[in-house]
Amino acid sequence: MERKLFIKKMALLALVPSVFVAACSNQEKSNGDAAKGKPQTYTCPMHPQVIKNEMGTCPICGMDLVPFEKNSNEKALKIDEKRQALANITTVMIGTGNLSGAKQLNGRLVVNPEQSSYISSRIAGRIEELYIRETGIKVAKGQPLYKLYSEQLATLQQEYLMAVAQEKQFQGDKIEQQIVASAKQKLLLYGQSEKQIQQIVKTQKKDPYVVFYAPEGGVVAELSVTQGQYVTEGNPILRLEGYGQLWVEADVYPNEAKNIKMGQKVKVVVAGWEDQPQEMTISFITPALQSGTQLTQIRGSIPNPQHQWQPGLQANVFLPSENKSNVLTLPVDAVVRDGKGMHVWIKNGKDSFEPRLVKTGQENNNEVEVAEGLKNGDQVVVTGAYLLYSEYILKKGKNPVEGLKIK
């Protein structure tokens, strides 16, 4: 009997280690499986630098944290009512209507080069007196600009006086007449006026000092010399700009430029002078895009009565557009535009929003035509669309239109 009890005890003792090993193995497997599970993380919609492993509130702004869904493939974005109100997210049911008006382009006033005058020295010499010594001064046509001392000019004057005296001795001689005309032409080309040449003949004295006058009126935009400076032939003296007529340059996207033609009439409104709209004829369309942008330019000119406008002022150019009826329209801000295309946000249910690719058509300052992607009755976000776009990228870590197609 005692032998049987001894054998039973030994068998139980042999089973204990194996049970213990199996229990440990199961515990390790359970711990391993727990380690493999990825804990849910939470972040703040307004402060993405805040990341926690449990639900709570943002320590910066106090907003409720939301799940960080970077690896989620779900297109819908969940926004509760409280956050919708905070972000001012509103929707409208899209429907057909009329679209009319004009497309507004951003433009600016610039100097018309045709109104500018470049004045350079006609002959080498020393600037004895400079009558205009600063930029910004208004100059009238015929106003004296500077006095030049030139020995070369004095020599040409002496040649002219000798030719005139020689012609008097041989009156009627065609060769002498040609010599006089040639000598006079040299003086005219070197900047002497008809009146100055007559004065030389009257006094019979050469004058190495000559005054040069403004050929056109304008404002001194650039002054290149100082009094007492020696200049060579062709040396720049100053530049005059006329503001009686100004250019208007406006930026245009390529898809808008295809509807613009040379000679087309448009309306121009200068900022601050909305009560004085101007009509402009488009005279030039740049054939290439501006460097570093996706914009081209159109240009025309407008009169500048009483010089009331200065180059650099902002101007709005309004392109007339055709009227359309029975088209789906949305506010311009409802359409999100980025490098991946244009999309809007559709509200599905109480707190769910989804992106949808669209194709737009004609638009004006306030509304845009939706040519493809939407249908009558869709609930579309009209304010807060860009906030939804930003939150989607924040929570999902990708562009909301990736993989979408226009329906």
**Looking at residue 27, what is its pLDDT?**
43
Residue 194, φ and ψ in degrees, nearest 5: -60, -40
Mean pLDDT over 311-337 rounds to: 87
Sheet-wide strand order for 284-285: 278-281, 265-270, 314-320, 102-111, 245-252, 296-303, 284-285
In order of 81, 85, 98, 366, the CA distances from 334 in angstroms are 20, 17, 17, 10
How does 58-80 read in b/e, with b if 16+ C-beta sit within 10 Å?
A: beeeebebbebbeeeeebebebe
Q: Please give the mean pLDDT across all residues of the chain.
A: 83
What confidence score (pLDDT) does residue 270 get? Answer: 93
Q: Look at the alpha carbons of 103, 109, 110, 116 in this order and tell me if their dihedral is positive or negative.
A: positive
Q: Has this prediction a pTM greater than 0.85?
A: no
Strand (E) or helix (H) holding 365: none
Average pLDDT of span 134-139: 90
Chain Cα centroid distance, residue 365: 17
- Output the six-digit token pair for 316: 């709005």
* Average confidence (pLDDT) over 183-206: 85
Distance in angstroms (rounded) separating the CA atoms of residues 107 and 273: 14
DSSP bridge partners of 64: 57
- Nearest of 222, 203, 221, 231 to residue 212 by alpha carbon: 231
pLDDT one-digit tens code per residue, 60-101:
888 888 776 655 567 788 888 888 888 899 999 988 888 776
* Closest-CA residue to 407 (of 386, 378, 384): 378
Alpha helices in 170-283 (DSSP H): 174-189, 194-203, 254-257
- Residue-wise pLDDT for 4-63, tens only, equals 544 445 544 444 444 333 444 444 444 444 344 556 777 776 676 677 888 889 898 888
pLDDT 10s digits, 369-378: 898 999 888 9
pLDDT, position 17: 44
- 244: which DSSP letter? S
pLDDT at res. 131:
94
> pLDDT tens digits for 95-132?
888 877 677 889 999 999 888 888 998 888 999 999 99
Share in percent of the chain as helix, strand, coil (round to 5): 25, 35, 40
Q: Per residue in 217-242, pLDDT tens? A: 889 999 999 999 999 988 999 999 98
In angstroms, rounded to a whole number, what is the distance separating the alpha carbons of residues 205 and 125? 19
Task: Compare 51 and 152 and report the one with higher pLDDT.
Answer: 152
Q: Are 152 and 123 spatial neighbours (Cβ–Cβ below 8 Å)?
A: yes
Q: What is the pLDDT of residues 376-396, one digit of tens each?
A: 889 999 999 988 888 888 777
